[in-house]
Amino acid sequence: DGGITQSPKYLFRKEGQNVTLSCEQNLNHDAMYWYRQDPGQGLRLIYYSQIVNDFQKGDIAEGYSVSREKKESFPLTVTSAQKNPTAFYLCASITVISGYTEAFFGQGTRLTVV
């Protein structure tokens, strides 16, 4: 089945560590996105990539980094510069179907700083 796979589902990070969240898709979509979800704040865009080897900052990119070396993969690194990393992270791919935009989401990764 086609879809978005995020791993791990739960991740614990110590203060000062970098951690990388995986996102893989087999939908052959060009565009991929990372969102952060906090209680009461909805989804906020961290980074997005429209094509391989290109990505752009979203609304809250500080303390995060990404790469897009393959169409299928868009990993997110949460660096030690991110002051409040505990959150639920969602990866999505977005395509245009019959003229409208549709987003496909992974199951999410819950990151906790310990």
Partner 1 sequence: GDSVTQMEGPVTLSEEAFLTINCTYTATGYPSLFWYVQYPGEGLQLLLKATKADDKGSNKGFEATYRKETTSFHLEKGSVQVSDSAVYFCALRGMNTGFQKLVFGTGTRLLVSP
53 binds partner 1 (CB under 8 A): no
Separation of alpha carbons 52 and 110, rounded Å: 26
CB burial class (10 A; 0-12, 13-18, 19+) of residue 27? middle
Does residue 16 belong to the site contacting partner 1 (CB under 8 A)? no
Cα–Cα nearest to 78, from 5, 18, 23, 33: 18
Residue 84 interacting with partner 1 (CB under 8 A): no
Among 1, 16, 83, 100, binds partner 1 (CB under 8 A): 100
The residue type at 36 = R
Nearest to 106 by CA among 27, 19, 20, 18: 27
Q: Does 55 bind partner 1 (CB under 8 A)?
A: no
The reply to whether 94 sits near partner 1 by the rule CB under 8 A is: yes
The residue among 16 and 40 lying less far from partner 1, judged by its C-beta, is: 40
- Which residues contribute to the site for partner 1 (CB under 8 A)? 4, 6, 31, 35, 40-43, 45, 48, 50, 56, 90, 92, 94-96, 99-103, 105-108
